[in-house]
Amino acid sequence: MAAEQDPEGRAAARPLLTDLYQATMALGYWRAGRAQEAAEFELFFRRCPFGGGFALAAGLRDCVRFVRAFRLRDADVQFLASVLPPDTDPAFFQHLRALDCSGVTVRALPEGSLAFPGVPLLQVSGPLLVVQLLETPLLCLVSYASLIATNAARLRLIAGPEKRLLELGLRRAQGPDGGLTASTYSYLGGFDGSSNMLAGQLRGVPVAGTLAHSFITSFSGTEVPPDPMLAPAAGQGPRVDLAACVETWLERVCRHLGLGVQEPHRGERAAFVAYALAFPRAFQGLLDTYSVWRSGLPNFLAVALALGELGYQAVGVRLDSGDLLQQAQETRGVFRTVAAQFRAPWLESVPIAVSNNVDEEELARLAQKGSEVNVIGIGTSVVTCPRQPSLGCVYKLVSVGGQPRMKLTEDPEKQTLPGSKAAFRLLGSDGALLLDVLQLAEEPPPQAGQELRVWPRGTQESCTVRPAHVEPLLRLWVQQGQLCEPLPSLAESRAFAQQSLSRLSPAHRRLEQPALYQVALSEKLRALVDRLSARGAL
CATH number, residue 243: 3.20.20
Mean pLDDT over the full length of the chain: 95
Q: Specify the pLDDT at position 413.
A: 81
Domain range enclosing 437: 20-156+388-537
- Report the first-to-last Cα separation within the chain, whole angstroms: 46
Q: Which helix (H) or strand (E) holds 217?
A: helix 213-217
Domain co-membership, 400 together with 358: no
Give the model's pLDDT for residue 538. 47
Cβ–Cβ < 8 Å for 193, 212: no
Both 223 and 334 in one domain: the answer is yes
> Are 289 and 369 contained in the same domain?
yes
Q: Which of 263, 273, 270, 14 is nearest to 137 (CA)?
A: 14
Cα(250)–Cα(255) distance, integer angstroms: 8
Q: pLDDT below 70 — which residues of the chain?
A: 1-12, 536-538
pLDDT tens digits, one per residue of 138-188: 999 999 999 999 999 999 999 999 999 999 999 999 999 999 999 999 999
Do 184 and 199 contact (CB within 8 A), yes or no? yes
The pLDDT score that the predictor gives to residue 280 is: 97
172, part of any domain? no
Tell me, rounded to whole angstroms, the distance of Cα 374 from its chain centroid.
Answer: 21
Any domain includes 186: no
- Looking at the fold, whether 402 and 530 belong to one and the same domain comes out as yes
Are 76 and 100 a contacting pair, CB within 8 Å?
no
Q: 37-54, pLDDT tens digit by residue? A: 999 999 999 999 999 999
Total domains, the chain:
2
Strand partners, 483: 478
| Type of residue found at 301 | L
367 and 407 in a single domain? The answer is no
| Domain end call among 353, 378, 403 | 378
pLDDT reported for residue 323: 96
What is the three-state SS of 460-522? CCCEEECCCEEEECCEEEEECCEECCCCCCHHHHHHHHHHHHHCCCHHHHCCCCCCCCCEEEE
How many C-beta neighbours within 10 Å does residue 456 have?
Answer: 17
Report the alpha-carbon distance of residue 244 to residue 169 in Å, rounded: 38
Indicate if 460 and 438 belong to the same structural domain: yes
Q: What is the pLDDT of residue 4?
A: 44
Residues 104 and 151 in one domain: yes
Residue after which a domain boundary falls, among 319, 351, 378: 378
Last residue of a domain, one of 331, 356, 378: 378
Domain identity same for 364 and 243: yes
pLDDT at position 3 is 44
Is the C-alpha dihedral spanning 242, 244, 247, 249 positive or negative? negative
Q: Is 243 contained in some domain?
A: yes
Q: Look up residue 463 and give its amino acid.
A: C
Helix and strand tally (H, E) in the chain?
A: 19, 23
